[in-house]
Amino acid sequence: MHIPDGFLDTKTWISTYALSAGALAYSIKKSKEVLEDKLIPKLGIMAAFIFAAQMVNFPIAGGTSGHLLGAALATVLLGPVSGCLILSTVLVIQCLAFQDGGLTALGGNIFNMAVLGVITAYVAYSLLSKVLTGTIGRNISVFLAAWLSVVIAAFGATMELAASNTIPFSVALPAMVGVHMLIGIGEGLITVAVVNFVEKVGFIDKTAKIKNGVRSNV
């Protein structure tokens, strides 16, 4: 899903940089209001985990592979503001240090994964967890939120590639979204497993205040 250099035209990468910068500025400002100091180190641990987990690929259909996105994982455990900051940090490091995703496309990659992915996970989990209760209901909510976050992030990349005339929308949609619907299954299963493990070991203190978060059911 990481878009490389040369795939987005000027209008698209400038627009996505502006949107991503706005989302990051809001998240940084909001983080000062919604996070307790004792949670800050855990944001770093979560970023390191997602960064490492994204290096591990799992096979899907047709010889392709996928890896953890982590938007739903960070959002469910630490809230959407933290999720945006964590994913953005991971993407910047991947781009600058490992050339995973182009520099001109960095705004687009952040917008797709750290903004669209996080917002989708937040909205989906918030709504579903109100209807689906108990441990099983929570797990279903987490799975669907994770799956949707991957699909919507892929759709965002599809729209950007089509807007840049890199590939026709009719070709990009099944290629990108179709494959990531399968990748999203792996994302959902991994996210459910990690959320349950984190709850079991008490990595996140349930009493910690995340005023704009979604951890009330975790």
Tokens of residue 206, six digits:
């349930």
Cβ(2)–Cβ(174) below 8 Å:
no
Does the residue 178 lie in any domain? yes
pLDDT of residue 168 exceeding 60, the answer is yes
* 3-state secondary structure string across 134-165: HHHHHHHHHHHHHHHHHHHHHHHHHHHHHHCC
pLDDT of residue 205 exceeding 60, the answer is no
Model pLDDT for residues 91-128, shown as the tens digit of each residue = 999 999 988 889 999 999 999 999 999 999 999 999 99
pLDDT on residue 185: 93
Does the residue 37 lie in any domain? yes
pLDDT of residue 216 exceeding 50, the answer is no
Does the residue 5 lie in any domain? no
Find the CATH number of the domain harbouring 29: 1.10.1760.20
Domain count, the chain: 1
- Residue 64's pLDDT band, with cuts at 50, 70 and 90, is low
Q: What is the mean pLDDT of residues 67-81?
A: 93
Does the residue 93 lie in any domain? yes
Does the residue 2 lie in any domain? no
Domain region containing 138? 10-217
Helix or strand holding residue 17 (H, E): helix 10-34
Average pLDDT, the chain: 88
Least confident of 24-28, 50-54, 202-206: 202-206
pTM value is: 0.90
H-state helical runs in the chain: 10-34, 40-53, 71-78, 80-98, 106-109, 117-131, 134-163, 169-172, 179-201
Does the residue 96 lie in any domain? yes
pLDDT of residue 189 exceeding 90, the answer is yes
Does the residue 137 lie in any domain? yes
In whole angstroms, what is the distance from residue 22 CA to residue 216 CA? 27
Does the residue 130 lie in any domain? yes
Share of the chain above pLDDT 70, in %: 89
Residues composing the chain: 218
- Residue 33's pLDDT band, with cuts at 50, 70 and 90, is confident
